[in-house]
Amino acid sequence: MKLWPFSVWVAACAAGACAVSVAANEAPKRKSGQWEISSAVGGQPPMTEKVCIDAAGDDIALSAGSGTPQENCESAAIKRDGEAFVTESICKLRNSTVTSRGVFTGSFDSAYQGEVDTNYNPPMYGRAQVKTIIEAKLTGPCP
């Protein structure tokens, strides 16, 4: 099974473009193993994927979201807010400015959940706003 970088942010980026640059002490890390991650974008039924995570490489600072280069972002950050991690980014995707804000909670060693609100200006594919709901859980060791 393929090892993935911190794909919670990839799921968040399914609703838009984001790239995150953070200090290592701010970024949550998931426990090594197989994770089941469900993402429901824009009210659609959730899509679920199973990914094998290596905690040593599960570093959001190494991830650039859905492959959008960080130079396309005028700002991108993650910060701890109490028990939550908050992501915020402003990026360019095609002709739109994409502004995203996500709030993620959970232990990150067994489960987490998040909501990402993404705004497009001008709208993309007829949508000005999209909400993504993410739920993830550790299901066991990698196969």
Residue-wise pLDDT for 32-62, tens only, equals 999 999 999 998 999 999 999 887 777 543 3
For the stretch 82-129, pLDDT in tens is 999 998 999 998 899 999 999 999 999 999 999 999 999 999 989 999
CA nearest to 30, candidates 50, 58, 68, 72: 58
Q: Give the model's pLDDT for residue 22.
A: 43
**Beta bridge pairs of residue 34:** 52, 140
Q: Give the model's pLDDT for residue 26.
A: 66
State how far the Cα of 126 lies from the Cα of 138, in Å rounded to an integer.
Answer: 35
For the stretch 88-99, pLDDT in tens is 999 998 899 999
State how far the Cα of 138 lies from the Cα of 20, in Å rounded to an integer.
Answer: 23
Contacts for 126 with CB less than 8 Å, ≥ 6 apart: none
Burial bucket for residue 73 (CB in 10 Å: 0-12, 13-18, 19+) = buried
Residue 7, classed as helix, strand or coil, is helix
**Beta bridge pairs of residue 134:** 39, 114
